[in-house]
Structure 1
């Protein structure tokens, strides 16, 4: 069932708080501990500057917002819109449809395939003038955001992490 935009999945906002296992717990055959669920956002936040540096240094990716309106779009508009479309909309719908197709709602296969398909759509939607290989650097952050969505189902957490990725890339771009 799709949650209202911005709603948390449960009282504490995690699948675990509702008594459900996550796709990652399914892979290990056990339940995720709450420290592990908190670890994903923290690990992503720490990895974002390194990913931004790699995307900029190796592939030449940059964000140069310039004016205030550019910064507002980079840090608010794009994360709000893209996470609503690709996580809350597309990935959630694909997860449900694929879960029905494999006969098990919430399976790691449904979550993983939905994340990959939504992430590929995310990559394809960015800078359509570039060849696909020139946009693949967006795949890693998109897969990470998809994993975060699969684990927590918190729209605002995904928006915040997306904005953090954008801020890191804009900061690295501004340094060079």
Structure 2
């Protein structure tokens, strides 16, 4: 499971970096194979757009890789493997799912802010987006946060990895294993605050995957959590 997660994330990152580097360079009339000392200065706006393109393409490649793995392992049953089919009934009533979606942002924000305080991490309200992002880029960024990233990450975590873990560990083991991998995948130079802040969300997503038997509720909760946290951070005084 860990090897699969690392391989998928690494491959998606390398592919996105290569495509953006070559594609943006060719579009700008730059030889993508120039040595660093001969490359022209790109400017802050161009660098911001390239960074966003890398993030977005990484999720696209990640989703494609996971679906490809599922097809290879399950053939025509890949949708069932990734919990994208409708053959089994939803094990959770819509009103219960709606209640969870309504309550969850408050719990998520409280935990994330509390975790940041405990770890002394930088986490402040009333932050601003980069002035180098156009309105179209901001809209694309919100779509990335609320839809693209949740779809790709849930396909990997609560899709393929959950299916593998459940074969040997059962539902509880699959929930814990995928939660641990999900949190570990968010370790950064800022320390443990980020992965620890995601543990409740990871456990809730795993429980939702088991309870409903489907992936889309996990995507909805993941995307809603991202959007609520961003709204909290950007909300003006």
* Same fold, TM-score > 0.5, yes or no: yes
* Number of residue equivalences: 143
In structure 2, the residue matched to 1:48 is 104
In structure 1, the residue matched to 2:174 is 114
8 Å Cα contact 1:124/1:132 also seen in 2 = no
Residue 193 (structure 2) pairs with residue 95 (structure 1): no
Deviating more after overlay: 113-122 vs 49-58: 49-58
In structure 2, the residue matched to 1:164 is 224
Alpha-carbon RMSD: 2.7
Match 1:83 to one of 154, 162, 167 = 154
Task: Flag the structure with larger Rg.
Answer: 2
- How far apart in 2 are the matches of 1:61 and 1:157? 29
In structure 2, the residue matched to 1:131 is 191
8 Å Cα contact 2:186/2:194 also seen in 1 = no
8 Å Cα contact 1:48/1:168 also seen in 2 = no
- How far apart in 1 are the matches of 2:128 and 2:149? 14
In structure 1, the residue matched to 2:208 is 148
8 Å Cα contact 1:83/1:158 also seen in 2 = yes
8 Å Cα contact 2:145/2:223 also seen in 1 = yes
Q: Give, in angstroms, the shift of residue 152 of structure 1.
A: 1.0
8 Å Cα contact 1:9/1:154 also seen in 2 = no
Query: SS of the counterpart of 2:198?
Result: helix
- Give structure 1 stretches of 5+ with no counterpart: 15-33, 99-109
- How far apart in 1 are the matches of 2:174 and 2:95? 22
- Give structure 2 stretches of 5+ with no counterpart: 1-76, 117-122, 131-137
- How far apart in 2 are the matches of 1:71 and 1:112? 33
In structure 1, the residue matched to 2:90 is 13
Which 4+ stretches in 1 moved above 4 angstroms?
A: 61-66
- Higher RCO by CA contacts (8 Å cutoff, separation 6 or greater): 1
Q: Give, in angstroms, the shift of residue 65 of structure 1.
A: 7.1
Q: Give, in angstroms, the shift of residue 157 of structure 1.
A: 1.6
